[in-house]
Amino acid sequence: MRKNPAGRKFDFWTGVALPPLLAPLNLANLMKSHSILEHLAVCSWSLQPASPEDLVEKLRETGIRRVQLALDPVRVSPKIWGGTGIVFRDHGITIVSGMVGCLGEDYSTLDSIRLTGGIAPDAKWEQNVKNIGACAAIAKKMGLKLVTFHAGFLPSDESHPAFAKMLQRLDVVADLFMKQNILLGLETGQETATELAGLLHRLSHPNIGVNFDPANMLMYDKDDPVEALQILAPWIRQVHIKDARRTKIPGTWGEEVPVGTGEVDWRGFFSTFKHAGLNVSLVIERESGDNRIGDIRAAREAMKQTFI
């Protein structure tokens, strides 16, 4: 970011004068004009950045200046990531939300992530809750209002021994963020929409919502993404823009693919999105492939075509 003698800021990307800071996301305006492109965001981890400066450069290549920021690198490597907020401000980058992970997660197979994912493993719980609490404090300092994470597999049967344990742990994590005035969003996919809705009803925690990922519904071989969106709409606080193909072999992962080439019905998805009156950020996520910047740019264009 540079300034002219009058002190007006200019765009790092184009060199033209920047408008005033974006107003809060307004669904009616969002859906009526091409400015939806300005309300898209990118998951920082999709770009595999080595530093805040590297992330800024990669965001510049995508043409998107809004980001969901992985908070664990800031916690683990403060010498590298501690100045992220300043770097972003200098280059006109907006953080729309944060993301935290859990220790020891193994995504190699569905069975492995069922055993190791999220806050379910007892051996990792104590350290996970400490790390999450530290990330909540970082998110507060950055002025974030939403942080998302994968809670792990949630038992569908309330009589399952792990059900009460998971409810109690989700309460603890949600309270950590509520103390910082930050909403917590649960990632979708590991369970059906009906099962997750039932758990959210049972929890009845004012600080827990959903980060809806339509591709995960396919990759975990659970629901139809459009039907799931309708069921979970009351809790949705953010949407991940990601695409996938459902597995043909039960018990194995589906395939993540570039947006627009998978099985998500994007026109049906956003028809339901609009009908539900959702007013949330749309964050492009790409977790595989060797052309992530190109795939994110393609996703941006696919979203533009979907809304026109």
Pairing between β-strand 236-241 and β-strand 208-212 as defined by DSSP bridges: parallel
Instruction: Tell me the torsion sign for CA atoms 106, 109, 110, 114.
Output: negative
Alpha-carbon span 85 to 94, nearest angstrom: 9
Q: Which residues of the chain have pLDDT under 70?
A: 1-35, 307-308
Provide the pLDDT for residue 119: 97
Provide the pLDDT for residue 24: 41
Alpha-carbon span 3 to 159, nearest angstrom: 62
**pTM for this predicted structure:** 0.88
pLDDT digits 0-9 by tens, 228-241: 999 999 999 999 99
The torsion region of residue 274 among left (phi > 0), alpha (psi -120 to 50) and beta comes to alpha
Alpha-carbon span 303 to 308, nearest angstrom: 9
Instruction: Tell me the torsion sign for CA atoms 76, 109, 228, 45.
Output: positive
pLDDT digits 0-9 by tens, 242-278: 999 999 999 999 999 999 999 999 999 999 999 999 9
CA angle 93/96/101 to nearest 5° reads: 110
Assigned fold of 36-307 = TIM Barrel (3.20.20)
CA distances from 52 to 73, 249, 264 (A): 10, 40, 32
